A and B are shown apart, each in its own frame.
Chain A
Amino acid sequence: MMLNIVPKDSFQNGVHPPEHKDETSHLAIRRFAFAPQLIVPLSQHLGKPAIAVVREGQEVVRGQTIGEPDGFMSVAMHAPASGVVKRIALAPSISGTMVPSVYLQPFPASSQEVDDGEPCDVATATPDEIITAIQQAGVVGLGGAAFPTHVKLKPPDGKQLDTLIINGVECEPYLTTDHRVMLEQSADIFMGVRYLLRVTGAAEVIIAIEANKRDAERKLTKACPPDLPLSIRVCPVKYPQGAEKLVIKSLLGREIPSGGLPADVNAICVNVATTAEIGRLLPKGRGIQERVITIGGPGIQRKGNYRIPIGTTVRFALKETGAADNVSRVFLGGPMMGPAVSNLDIPITKGTSGITVFTTAETIEATGHKTVYPCIHCARCVEACPLFLNPSYLGLLAKSEEYMQMAEEFHLMDCFECGACSYVCPSHIPLVQYFRLAKKMVRKLNVPA
C-alpha cells in the first residue's frame, strides 16, 4: 500500500477557518438515549419520499422497514427504536417546510436489539443486487448532501469508473464524526469498500483524509486488508477540501466539467461514514436507524460524538448534552454550511452530520450586528472561491436581480454554497445567501410555465 501526501496546492483558493476539532476529536463515539418520541421523516434525502408501510397504532421492531422506496430516486426508512407508531403526520423540517413523518413512541424498555433482514453477501451478490440492498438499507450520503447512494453508484450509460474515492476529509469546523468513524470502524469501512468496488467496477480505491487526522491515517493503514487495491492520501487542511469536486481535483488532478458529474471524469466519491454504514448494515440486511453526529460548539457542556437514533429531536439532543442557557444560534452541521435551526422540534435525519451551538458571544463576535458595507472590490472573495467564480460581481448582479445573467454568463449554478466568499468578505455582504436565493429563482424561471 502506498502512502501519499497531497501537495499544498491540492486545489486553488479556499480559506482556513479555525477548526475547533480537538474539542471533540478525542472523544469516542457514545450511544445516545432514546427520546420519548422519535419523528422519522419519510423524506430525508433528495428525491421522492418513501411510502409509509406502517399504520397508526402499529407496533414496530427496531430496524423494521417503515417506509418503502417510491421508485429508483428514493430509499427505504427503518424504525429507529422498538415502539408504537403514534401517528403519521406532517412534521417541521430544517428547511421550514412540513414533511410527512412517522411519529414513533419507543417502548420504555426498548432494547438495542435490531431486526435483521435479508443479508447481502459481498462475495456472491451481483452489482444490481448490491444496489438494491443499498437502497433497501436506506443509505444516503451521510456527509450532508443526503443524495441516495445507490443512485450515485449507477453511473450514466457509457461511463466507466476507474477510481473510487472514499471521502474522509471532513473539512467543516467542529465536526469530527468521520474522524471517529475512521478510528473506530475501520473494519466496517473496508467491508463497505468491498461492496462499492464490486458495484462500481473501479480498479483503485483512495481514502482521502485531511492532514489534521493523521491518527486516522495510521489506524487505517494498519488495518487495511492486503488484498484491497487501496491507498490513503493526506490532503492539506483547507476549506472546502471535502467538496466532491475538489477532492477529485486534489487526488486525481481531474476537473469535473461545469454542470457535470464525477462519472464524467471516471471517478466516484463516497463519504467515509456512508461507506462504513454500507459495510456494517449490508452483511446483516439491516437499514440505517441511527447515525454518528458531533454535538459541539461553545454552547454545549457535554460535547461529543454520538451514535444517535434517526428522528431524535434537536431539543432532546441539546437537553441530553447540556446546552447553555444563553444559546443563541443552533445549526445542523458545521458553521460554514450548516443551516440555522429555527425550531428545536425538528428531527435529526440521515443527512445531519452534527449540531453546533453558539452562545450569544460567538454569534455577536462572528456574524452578529455588523454593518454591511458596499462591496469595495477587495477581491478576497475571488481569491477564496474554489471554483473561480466572481462572487463580487455575482453579488452585484444578485442585488439588481439579474438572476438569468448570473446563471448564463457567470456560472451561478456551479456554486455549491461552501460559504468561503461570505467568510472572507470584509463588507459582511451575505453573498451565499444571495446566491441561494438566485439559484432558486433561476430554477423557478427555467421551469416552463
Chain B
Amino acid sequence: MSELKKYLEIGSSPHVTSGDSVEVIMRNVFIALLPVCIFAIYSFGAAAALVLATACVSCIATEHVLCKVTSQPSTIGDWSVAITGMLYGLTLPPDLPLWMVAVGGVFAVAVGKFLFGGLGSNAFNPALVGRAFLQAAFPQAMTHWALPLGDTRFVELPNSTLALPFAQPVYDAVTAATPLAAMKFDGIQAVNRDLLFGLTSGSAGETCAVLILVGGAYLVARNMMNWRIPISIFATVAAITWIFNLYAPGSYATPAFMLLSGGLMLGAVFMATDMVASPITNAGCWLYGFLIGSLVVVIRFWGGMPEGVMYAILLANAVSPHIDWFIRPRVFGVGGGTG
C-alpha cells in the first residue's frame, strides 16, 4: 500500500445487511404464485391465460404510467405491482371479458395502491380492491363460472372473453356453479378429491388448495410470510364451522368443505398475508386472522353471497392499523418479566 485512498466512504452502522431486499421478497412471492397460475391455465385453458396476462399488464402499465405522470421514477422494478396483477388475475372468473379485467386492474393500482401513496402505504390489498370494484360494477359477469377442464379450452375462447367493452357479454351455454354456490343455493356439499386438487369451477386461481399451500409453505420456509395469519384463519373457520355443523349438520357445511372451497385458501395464504395491510406483531396477526375467519363464516352462512373471503379480508385490512395501535409488544424492562 503506497498511500491510503484519499476519500473514505462513510455511512451509519450497521455496515452489513442481511441481504434480503424488497424485490427479493416480492420475487419470491411471484415464484410461489407460479404453480397456482400454471394450474389455473391447465384447468381453464387459454381464457385463464389471457385473464392473467391482461391483469398483470394492466396493473404494471397503470403503475408505470402513473409514476411517469407524477414525475416520479417508475416503481415497477420492485415487483410488488407484478404480484398485485397476478393475484388480481387469480381472483377473477376465468371467462371474464378481458376489457373488464383491464378496467379492474387500472382501478386496483390507481385507487387501491397509488392513491394511498404507493408501496407500503396501501391500506387495503390492491388486488382485492380491484376485484371488489368489479364485483360492484359487473355483478353478473363476476358470478359466471366456466367449467374446469373443458375439452376445447386450449383451442377455443369462450364468447365472453373477447366481448366488446360495455356490450352485454354473451355467455356460452355451458356454465357451472362453484362448490360454494352449490352449497348455498342447492344445499349440495361436495367434499372430495376434486375439491382438494382444484378440479372444480371457481376463480382462476382459487381452486387448487394443494398448490396454494405449497406456495405458502415455500414462503414461510424463506421467512417471507407470517404463517400465523393463514393458520389463524383456518383454525377460526374450522372451529366455528365445526360447532354449527355439529349442531345442525343439514344446514351448515363441514369444516373440510369450508376450508377447501371458494377463495379461502388463496385469500388466507396470499391475500391476507399482504405485509403492508396486515398487523406487525404476532399477537396482532392471530387476532387479524381470527377476525377474517369469523367474517368469512358469517358472510358465507348468513350473508346474501355464497363467498365472503374478499370482503372479510378488506374489512380486516381496515382494522389492521388499529390492531397495531392496541397490541404492542411489551418493551424490555417495562411491566412484568422482571425477576
Residues of chain A whose beta carbon lies under 8 Å from any beta carbon of chain B: 15, 17-18, 173, 245, 249, 253-260, 265, 315, 318-319, 322-331, 335-342, 344, 356, 358, 363, 366-368, 370-371, 373-380, 382, 386-390, 392-393, 411, 414, 417, 419, 422-428, 430, 432-433, 436
Contact = CB atoms under 8 A, between A and B. Distances in A.
B250 interface: no
Interface of B: 1-2, 4-5, 8-18, 20-22, 24-25, 78, 80, 117-121, 223, 226, 275-278, 280-281, 324, 328-334, 337-339
Given A340-B11, A342-B10, A358-B15, A382 B280 contact: yes
B10 A319 contact: no
Contact of B332 (A328, A382, A387): A387
B333 A260 contact: yes
A262 B324 CA distance: 31
Contacts of B278: 377
B15 A340 contact: yes
Task: Summarize B's interface: helix, strand, loop or mixed.
Answer: loop
Contacts of B332: 245, 249, 255, 258, 386-388, 414
Q: Which of A17, A249, A315, A371 has the most CB of B within 10 A?
A: A371
A428 B333 contact: no
Given A319-B4, A322-B1, A255 B338 contact: yes
Contact of B331 (A322, A324, A368, A414): A414
9 contacts: A245-B332, A255-B332, A328-B8, A373-B120, A376-B276, A379-B226, A379-B275, A380-B20, A430-B12
Q: Which of A344, A366, A368, A376 has the most CB of B within 10 A?
A: A376
Given A340-B12, A363-B9, A426-B18, 19 more contacts: A15-B18, A256-B333, A318-B1, A331-B15, A335-B13, A340-B10, A356-B15, A358-B15, A370-B17, A373-B22, A373-B119, A377-B276, A380-B20, A386-B332, A389-B331, A411-B334, A419-B13, A426-B21, A432-B13
Contacts of A436: 12
Contacts of B226: 379
A130 B286 CA distance: 55
Contacts of B119: 373-374, 376
A425 B14 CA distance: 11
A366 B5 contact: no
A336 B16 contact: yes
A337 B14 contact: yes
B12 to A, nearest CB: 4
Contact of B333 (A255, A358, A366): A255
A283 to B, nearest CB: 37
Nearest to A173: B16
Contacts of A411: 331, 334
Contacts of A337: 13-14
Q: Which of B12, B13, B333 has the most CB of A within 10 A?
A: B13
